[in-house]
């Protein structure tokens, strides 16, 4: 990375792309929460006792549709009941595992 080269001692950066490709890169990327599966996030919020995940004040709000997909997936996995409440023991157990909910369900 050019930000590291030359910082502590003389160095060079060898980019593996053309200058034109570099100029076409976006200045920043969208926040991860706006472009990934939110099942783990929603499961953790539910485990912390936050029932209204659609109304939760995220720093960078994810698309509403992504939250709804996460809720549907967690319901299909048995982690949430038909009211959106964390189930026991499945939902609470899944929320304690440091893996995506789909993998947590496999272990049950």
pLDDT tens, residue by residue, 60-86: 999 999 999 999 999 999 999 999 999
Q: Is the pLDDT of residue 5 over 60?
A: no
- What backbone phi and psi angles, to 5 degrees, belong to 80? -125, 150
Q: Between residues 84 and 2, which one has the greater pLDDT?
A: 84
- pTM for this prediction: 0.75
Give CA separation, 107 vs 77, 80, 90, 94, in Å.
Answer: 12, 17, 10, 9
Q: All domains of the chain, ordered by start, with CATH?
A: 30-106 (1.10.10.2130)
Q: What is the pLDDT of residues 24-63, one digit of tens each?
A: 988 888 899 999 999 999 999 999 999 999 999 999 999 9
Strand, helix or coil at 7? Answer: coil
Question: Whole-angstrom Cα distance, residue 53 to residue 85?
Answer: 11
């Amino acid at each position: 990375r050019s930000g590291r080269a030359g910082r502590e001692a003389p160095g060079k950066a060898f980019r593996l792309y053309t200058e034109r490709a570099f100029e076409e890169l976006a200045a920043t990327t969208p926040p991860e929460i706006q472009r990934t599966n939110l099942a783990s996030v929603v499961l953790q919020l539910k485990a912390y006792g936050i029932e209204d995940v659609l109304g939760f004040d995220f720093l960078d709000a994810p698309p509403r549709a992504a939250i709804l997909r996460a809720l549907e997936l967690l319901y299909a996995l048995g982690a949430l009941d038909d009211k959106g409440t964390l189930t026991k023991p499945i939902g609470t157990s899944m929320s304690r595992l440091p893996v995506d909910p789909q993998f947590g369900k496999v272990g049950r």
